[in-house]
Amino acid sequence: MSPSTTPVLIVGAGPTGLVLALRLAAHGVPFTLIDRRSGPGQASRAMIVQARTLEFFRQLGLGAEVAAQGIPIEHVHFRSGGKVIDRIDLHDAGGGLSPYPYILAFPQDDHERYLVAQLAARGISVQWNTQLIALVQDEHGASATVQTAAGEAVIEAAYVCGCDGAHSTVRQALNIEFPGDTYTQVFYVADVQLAGGFDHDLHINLGERALALVLPVRSRGVQRVIGLIPERFAQREDVTFDDIRGDVEALAGITVEHVNWFSRYRVHHRVADRFSQGRCFLAGDAGHIHSPAGGQGMNTGIGDAVNLSWKLAAVVQGHAPAKLLETYETERIGFARQLVATTDRAFRAMAGGGWFSRLMRRGVVPNVLPLVADFAAVRRTLFSTVSQIRIAYRHSAISAGHVGRTAGGDRMPWVPDEPAIAAAFNYLGWQWVVCGSPDSALVARAHADALPVRTVTWRTQVEDAGLIEQAVYLVRPDGHIALAMPRYDAATLDAYVARHGWRFTVPAP
């Protein structure tokens, strides 16, 4: 059989591959998406969709629809050693910082089914039952051998994106190391019905070498419990919920009436040595895996997909030289390394057995948390950290300029009740954001490049968000600032564009 050809082969239709596919489709880039499974994932793993992910969906016109399918977490309840410690009110914790000022509970299996349906609505289907078994590349392209029900086939691709999870075949074919370790603790995940009925809140329960999170699953009206298997059962592969029921119920202060589903798993913390090699890229769990504490894993994979998608689109469509693709690794691998280190520290602090963990559980959580949790500033810091809105690429080769506290590489700040910023957050393409009336030379230049200009009305809320009067910001298709200038300066812009060899892209009609 003669090989099929595609500009981009996406291996893996988990959340990372599905979002990459949706973004490439929105940019008008053809691709092939394969997965070895027979359909979308059944196992609901990640439970939290962060605000930054919802902002990325908003650019596709899907933000409100995704948000409506989950439950915004309004309260987090803490228990330590079986006693209630505190309740943090998260209602509007990120007010003014994002159009989605909350963390959303939305299980991964519902999420994946929704993304597959969105692709189908655009006339795109996943090639299920298609497994990558071999991959080679040279300077002209890559050749992927896949196993299908009808036998082996070859797909020739200009670029290959390995979104194929922790055991990535792409990563192995590229001989990229995946250093790190495996936690000794064994986790469980269960969907349960509670005696008290459905609960909308998040419960974090800490104990001596014990941890259990309880979250709501809207679509099934059940609670998801994620925790550590007690040490005495950790080595038993046949452990059931009934074995650990007493420990879980005492730790979390719950009575479980019915168990719909129960599974145990091990957690690793690893980051690949590289996120790209030649024409092949790693994204999502193929590049980084870590403790589920913090609800970051899936969101980080989606962030990878978003970062890679506009760069691939620009290169495939001839709007930028292939050098742009080098910035994918430099922008994303640093965050992945930092995330693996911080989730590791947080996990060890909360669930480890040493003196520091005991201090956290017995001292800091019961005594300090109730004192600080009522401060809005503490809640905002918590939101900014976990929501991923603070991810910035200031050190990237394509970030330039600094105005006030905002610099090239930062995410364009959100300003509530500001139509120009709302329009910027709705848009998937290059654009200008201008504070105050725009310079006529900028308007002419933007018109020539077919880029929209968003004119922000100057007022204190705009300044509070970190923008400066008369400053102009060139914004990338992923909502990060490429170039910040105190005033429009044609020479600075020309030098910036010439340095990178770009022609600006407009989204496909």
Ligand X SMILES: Cc1cc2nc3c(=O)[nH]c(=O)nc-3n(C[C@H](O)[C@H](O)[C@H](O)COP(=O)(O)OP(=O)(O)OC[C@H]3O[C@@H](n4cnc5c(N)ncnc54)[C@H](O)[C@@H]3O)c2cc1C
Residue 133: partners with Cβ closer than 8 Å, 6 or more residues away:
145, 146, 147, 152, 169
Q: Is 164 a binder of ligand X (CB under 6 A)?
A: yes
Of 40-48, 52-60, 193-201, 489-497, the window that binds ligand X (rule: CB under 6 A) is: 40-48
Q: Which of 111, 500, 110 is nearest to 322 (CA)?
A: 500
> Cα torsion for 105, 111, 114, 120, to the nearest 10°?
160
**How many helices and strands (H and E) does the chain possess?**
15, 24
Q: Is 116 a binder of ligand X (CB under 6 A)?
A: no
With H, G, I as helix, E, B as strand and everything else as coil, classify residue 411. strand
Closest CB to ligand X among residues 389, 485: 389
Q: Which of 256, 33, 228 is nearest to 130 (CA)?
A: 33
Q: Is 36 a binder of ligand X (CB under 6 A)?
A: yes
The tokens describing 113, both together, are 């089914």
Restricting to residues 172-231, name those near ligand X by CB under 6 A.
189
* Rounded distance between C-alpha atoms, residue 459 and residue 256, angstroms: 53
For 199, phi and psi rounded to 5 degrees? -125, 130
Q: How many residues bind ligand X (CB under 6 A)?
A: 33
Of 29-37, 269-277, 340-348, 406-414, the window that binds ligand X (rule: CB under 6 A) is: 29-37
* Rounded distance between C-alpha atoms, residue 26 and residue 56, angstroms: 12
Closest CB to ligand X among residues 34, 174: 34
Half-sphere exposure of 109 (CA within 13 A, CB side): 12
Closest CB to ligand X among residues 9, 194: 9
Report in angstroms how near the CB of residue 222 gets to ligand X at its nearest. 15
Residue type, 384: S
Q: Is 309 a binder of ligand X (CB under 6 A)?
A: no
Binding ligand X (rule: CB under 6 A), the pick from 35, 55, 110, 418 is 35
The tokens describing 99, both together, are 């159009």
* Rounded distance between C-alpha atoms, residue 484 and residue 468, angstroms: 10
Where residue 296 falls (left for φ over 0; alpha for ψ -120 to 50; beta otherwise) is alpha
Of 15-23, 54-62, 331-339, 410-418, the window that binds ligand X (rule: CB under 6 A) is: 15-23
Report in angstroms how near the CB of residue 414 gets to ligand X at its nearest. 22
Binding ligand X (rule: CB under 6 A), the pick from 7, 141, 230, 301 is 301
Q: Is 32 a binder of ligand X (CB under 6 A)?
A: no
Binding ligand X (rule: CB under 6 A), the pick from 137, 205, 299, 399 is 299
Q: Which of 197, 185, 165 is nearest to 226 (CA)?
A: 185
Of 2-10, 161-169, 247-255, 448-456, the window that binds ligand X (rule: CB under 6 A) is: 161-169
Q: Is 157 a binder of ligand X (CB under 6 A)?
A: no
Report in angstroms how near the CB of residue 108 gets to ligand X at its nearest. 6
Of 119-127, 159-167, 366-374, 394-402, the window that binds ligand X (rule: CB under 6 A) is: 159-167
List residues binding ligand X (CB under 6 A).
11-17, 34-37, 45-48, 108, 131-132, 163-165, 169, 189, 265, 284-285, 292, 295-299, 301
